Structure 1
Amino acid sequence: MLTPADATTDGDATLLQPAQFRAALRSDVTRGLGASPKWLPPRWLYDPLGSELFEQITQLPEYYPTRTERAILTQCSPAVADITGARTLIELGSGSSDKTRLLLNALQERLPGITYAPVDVSASALAQAVAALSTDYPGLTMAPLVADFTTNLALPPLPGPRLLAFLGGTFGNLLPDERAVFLRSLRSRLAPGDRLLLGVDLVKDPDRIRAAYDDAAGVTASFSLNVLTMINRELKADFDLDAFEHVVLWDPQNEWIELRLRSRREQTVVLHDLGLHVRFAPGEDLRTEISAKFRPRRLADEMSKTGLEVTHWWTDPDRLYGLALVARDDDLTPPR
């Protein structure tokens, strides 16, 4: 997410302007809090503090996705570099770009002089990542972009073949219809030879999944509640954080986790900038995120319905997590 202070434009990146940030926030909050049941898009969880809290979450013992994905990337990155021959790495939802280094190392070993284009909604996380990579990879060409790629996917016209990395299980934060729209949009923007490397969390014991989103230290609860602090700050609202609790639910039919904020009592929240009075009944939930879990066959079917095909698949020994290499179904000839 952007804050107005973060939203600027310079020669290296195209960033949202303060007016765009505010318009998007106002629209999402108005629609989400006026719906039944109430919801907010997960992108607003990632203000500077939210991004910092999420990085803490990735280090927690209960949160298996990050370390499992890193282990898989350690093993498969050289193969990904050989298969794709990518000259540009575009990372959607780049965050701290920590795991990205495994791909960068493999790609640079095969072809020095590649370009890296991190794309993220958090300007602060993006700036920190770019600063760190500039120090550690002095010859790396970078083209950072602050954008919400889930609503307006625009791939920079950088040298091909391009490898798009969509890691961290963020794909699972989209509802099924949103995933279909995203995949069709992505397919239309893939040039010949381009590939997508997609990270997905897999269906497993629901208790293990729940624990990853409801850690004993309460970091995820703070992460979830922080969205109310952000709305208070940006829209002059009066959410009382003590009046809400962090709730994690497993939906066995849809095979996804839901993060919710549950009202502890009857209350009315005033959002002064919007002129809204939002009533919460005791026990009423505000959904802040879903995180879908996948089965390999179901994922392949989703891809096929949107004109994409999984060409390679990597997973860990316990099959907790998977990485899929994806191509347009009419572009399955390996790049030269």
Structure 2
Amino acid sequence: MSEVSIDVHRDGAEVTDALRRDVREGLSAEVKWLPSKWLYDAQGSALFDRITGVPEYYPTRAEREILRTRSADIASTTGARTLVELGSGSSEKTRLLLDAGTAHGTLRQFVPLDVSESALAASAEAIAAEYPDLSVRGVVADFTEHLDFLPGAAPRVVAFLGGTIGNFLPAERAKFLASVRSVLATGEWLLLGTDLVKDVGTLVTAYDDPQGVTAEFNRNVLHVLRTHLGADVDPAAFDHVAHWDARQEWIEMRLRARHPMTVQIPGADLTVRFERGEYVRTEISAKFRPEGVRAELTDAGFDVRHWWTDAQDRFGLSLAQVRD
């Protein structure tokens, strides 16, 4: 088994402070919102793993199909010595890239980055056991803040999979892509997964499965507020809503109050009033068109070298290189 090291750039106190700031800002707004990253504590991550297995949630299967057929091409095109995965989670799909990189003979190091130290440590240990010839160096950090800390020998491939880029608003996407570009050298690579625009029925059902797993996942953010900030909110008092915004071309996940209520959040020194039917936006999931993905990557300083989709054109995977 290879040696595992973990760099910690964000501890529990910093996480709680960030949550407190976001709750104060988002729940004091005229239209209430919370950043989607707060859905993903240990329980939320476990629920999301369940979501990826429900029949209606196609993105994970579609992206895995692309990686299964294109990982060898990615390895040979990039010749990467280091694979960096942002928001690594369980790193399941990344194993396809690790298999291809080690088979190609160039890959030497895997750098998973995640905000959860416990989840990251478990994933890194599992990868190290499976790939004894790889150096595994985990980074506990927020990929919107700490990309300057990314280690690894060049050339590197930064993998940002799962369509997570769609959780950013357009201006946030531009800022994020520019930040990735700023930490990579000319000739290094970004592998980006993007969910594509398709029929509304398929999109909405993917975020509102009949089994109710996504609804439970969405309400988990309220459990996070209870656990970390002492909120007296009842998650059962909110309905899960998946709304397609045709103008913005994104899914909005919302929590809608079933009745009027007042919620005390002592850890944020905040009192929040909800009217019946009022909602909190907990996530956006933008859907993309190929020409839009290419334009955003070009604007950020990348050249798209390859664009792949699954057999049903549901999901896109782009391999982009940093240009001079």
Give the TM-score range, shorter chain. Answer: over 0.9
Q: Tell me how far 1:11 sits from its aligned partner.
A: 5.2
In 2, Cα distance between equivalents of 1:186 and 1:131: 26
In 2, Cα distance between equivalents of 1:112 and 1:302: 29
Q: Tell me how far 1:120 sits from its aligned partner.
A: 1.2
Q: Tell me how far 1:136 sits from its aligned partner.
A: 1.3
Q: Tell me how far 1:273 sits from its aligned partner.
A: 1.8
3-state secondary structure, aligned to 1:31: helix
In 2, Cα distance between equivalents of 1:126 and 1:18: 14
CA contact (8 A) 2:85 2:158 kept: yes
In 2, Cα distance between equivalents of 1:219 and 1:139: 38
Unaligned runs of 5+ in 1: 1-9, 331-336
Q: What is residue 334 of structure 1 aligned with on the other side?
A: none
2:310 to 312, 316, 336: 316
Deviations 1:205-249 (A, max 9, x none): 111011111011101100010110111111011011121010000
Q: What is residue 186 of structure 1 aligned with on the other side?
A: 180
**Residues paired across the two proteins, number:** 321
Q: What is residue 289 of structure 1 aligned with on the other side?
A: 283
In 2, Cα distance between equivalents of 1:242 and 1:254: 29
3-state secondary structure, aligned to 1:22: helix
Give the alignment of 1:288-307 within 5 angstroms.
288-307=282-301
Q: What is residue 326 of structure 1 aligned with on the other side?
A: 320
Q: What is residue 214 of structure 2 aligned with on the other side?
A: 220
1:97 to 91, 98, 101: 91
Matched, 1:255 2:258: no
Q: What is residue 147 of structure 2 aligned with on the other side?
A: 153
In 1, Cα distance between equivalents of 2:141 and 2:7: 10
3-state secondary structure, aligned to 1:154: helix
What is the root-mean-square deviation in Å for CA atoms of aligned residues?
1.3
Structure 1 window deviating more from structure 2 (53-62 vs 274-283): it is 274-283
CA contact (8 A) 1:113 1:139 kept: no
Give the alignment of 1:273-284 within 5 angstroms.
273-284=267-278
Q: Tell me how far 1:16 sits from its aligned partner.
A: 1.5
In 1, Cα distance between equivalents of 2:130 and 2:305: 32
Q: What is residue 172 of structure 1 aligned with on the other side?
A: 166
Identity %, equivalent residues: 52
Q: Tell me how far 1:15 sits from its aligned partner.
A: 4.1
Q: What is residue 118 of structure 2 aligned with on the other side?
A: 124
4+ aligned runs moved over 4 Å, structure 1: none
Give the alignment of 1:65-80 within 5 angstroms.
65-80=59-74
2:58 to 61, 64, 78: 64
- TM-score, normalized by length of structure 1? 0.93
In 2, Cα distance between equivalents of 1:304 and 1:134: 35
Q: Tell me how far 1:192 sits from its aligned partner.
A: 2.5
CA contact (8 A) 2:80 2:107 kept: no
